[in-house]
Structures are given as structure tokens and as C-alpha cells.
Amino acid sequence: MTDAKLVVILKCCIASGLLLILLGIYLHNFSDSIDAMGVTGIIISAVCVAVGMALSLPTKMYLTFILVKREADKKQTK
């Protein structure tokens, strides 16, 4: 897998993680059906936030590492 494909996949993981975080926040604060579910609704919104954070945070660190490494390689070739 090339670096360009890996960067695209990582960016998609970040985007989907952020969307899941926003979905969890929306469900927790603004959804009446989640409020009606009680504890189960809280668990559903918390799982959305947790999975979103699990997707986005480590991916950001790895993507930053790849981009810094790529930039250092470009400086060495010049």
C-alpha cells in the first residue's frame, strides 16, 4: 500500500470518527427518543462517542507521524 492510499484511508477514519462523536453528542443532547430509552439511550450515545474517539485520536497521531516522516525525507533529498 502506498503512502498516498494510507493517508486517504487515515483521513477517512478521522472523518468517520468525528462524525460518530458528533452523532453521540446529538443523540445525548437533542434526541427525545434517546431520552425516552433511559439508561440504554445513554449507553448508545456513549458508545458512539467512544468509538468515534477510538477512530479519530490514534489515527491523528499516526497520520502526523507519516506526514512528518514524509517531509523529512523530502528535505533530505534536496
Domain membership flag for residue 78: no
Domain membership flag for residue 45: yes
Mean pLDDT (the chain, rounded): 89
The kind and range of the H/E element at 37 are: helix 32-37
Domain membership flag for residue 31: yes
* Nearest partner of 49 among 14, 18, 10, judged by Cα: 18
20-57 burial by CB neighbour count: b if 16+ within 10 A, else e? bbebbeebbeeeeebeeeeeebeebbeebbebbeebbe
Predicted TM-score of the model (pTM): 0.77
Domain membership flag for residue 14: yes
Domain membership flag for residue 12: yes
Number of domain units in the chain:
1
Q: State yes or no: pLDDT of 30 exceeds 80.
A: yes
